[in-house]
Amino acid sequence: MTADQQVLKEKLPDWFEKDFFLHDPQQRTWDELEVGESYDTAPFVVTRERIEKYAAGTEDNNPFYLDEAAALNSQFKGMIAPPTIIVPIVFAAIRPDSWVKMPGAVNPGQKLEFGVPVRVGDLIQCKIVLIDKMIKRGKKYTVARMHITNQNDEMVCIWTGGLVLPK
């Protein structure tokens, strides 16, 4: 881990908790969002402890996530994280003032396209782009695309997801 990654690790919590109500006053309404706007999340350092906690929380005991010896003999040539670990990473890294009010929102669907696996020591970064917003059946929808990369600018995931916002 580089010195910069160590500093970031010390600034970030060791859990994936996100209190969307805490920052509600800083977040924007649907009317304030502009299609095409984008922003970068805070970088997030992946640690072995975070992978272990995520695997335990999802009850996924895949040896490629938890056993270095087993992972070394796999096609991955070392330990990896569960692919869906990027979901709580992105939520943890979203800045409070950069996105729409989410408490009460419903997820009508999402698509995740995975690239290189996430590994211990990776510095995950995400660029979020609002690609659409619309009103259907009187409800306000947003669609965002997240380009998630590691410290080598390799694509980890492209995640497209929608929200139906509360009234």
In order of their start, the domains of the chain are: 3-165 (3.10.129.10)
Name the band, by pLDDT with cuts 50, 70 and 90, for residue 85: very high
Average pLDDT, the chain: 84
- For the entire predicted model, the pTM comes to 0.81
CA distance 100 to 123: 25
Q: CB neighbours (10 Å) of residue 71?
A: 19
Name the band, by pLDDT with cuts 50, 70 and 90, for residue 74: very high
**pLDDT value of position 22:** 58
Overall size of the chain counted in residues: 167
- Per-residue pLDDT, averaged over 76-85, amounts to 95
CA distance 150 to 148: 7
Residues 6+ apart with CB under 8 A from 34: 130
Name the band, by pLDDT with cuts 50, 70 and 90, for residue 165: confident
**pLDDT value of position 7:** 45
Say if residues 30 and 100 touch (Cβ distance below 8 Å).
Answer: yes
**pLDDT value of position 47:** 92
Q: Assess whether pLDDT exceeds 90 at residue 28.
A: no
* Percent of the chain whose pLDDT exceeds 90: 59
Say if residues 148 and 125 touch (Cβ distance below 8 Å).
Answer: yes
- DSSP per-residue string spanning 124-138: EEEEEEEEEEEEETT
